[in-house]
Amino acid sequence: MMTSAEKTTYKGALAAAMDSGAYIKFVEMHTEMRSEMEAHRQCMFIYWHRLLLVVFENMLRGQGSQYACVTVPYFNWIVASSRVTSGASTLVGV
C-alpha cells in the first residue's frame, strides 16, 4: 500500500507528465499498431511491458527533483482476488 505522501507525490508526477506532454507519448507508444503487435501478441509480452514501466518510471522521475523517488504502484492480484473470492470486498482492490 502507498502512504498518503507517496500517493500525493505520484499524482503530482503524473500531473506534471501530462502537462509536459510526456504522458501522452507513452499512451501513443502503447496503442500504436506496431507496438500493439509486439507488446501483446508475442512471447515478449512480459519483457516489453516491464521495459515500458521502467522507462515510464524514469520519465516520471525526470519531471522534477521532488519526484526522484517515484515508483509506479502495482496491483497485487493475489490479495485482491482472494478478498473478492472470500467476500471481504465487492470491488477488486477495495
- Burial environment of residue 62 by CB neighbours within 10 A (0 to 12, 13 to 18, 19 or more): middle
Please give the grid coordinates belonging to residue 88: 471481504
The residue type of 64 is G
List C-alpha distances in Å: 85 to 14, 16, 76, 80, 81: 32, 38, 14, 9, 6
pLDDT tens digits, residue range 12-63?
A: 999 999 999 999 998 888 777 676 666 677 787 788 888 889 999 999 999 9
pTM higher than the cut 0.85: no
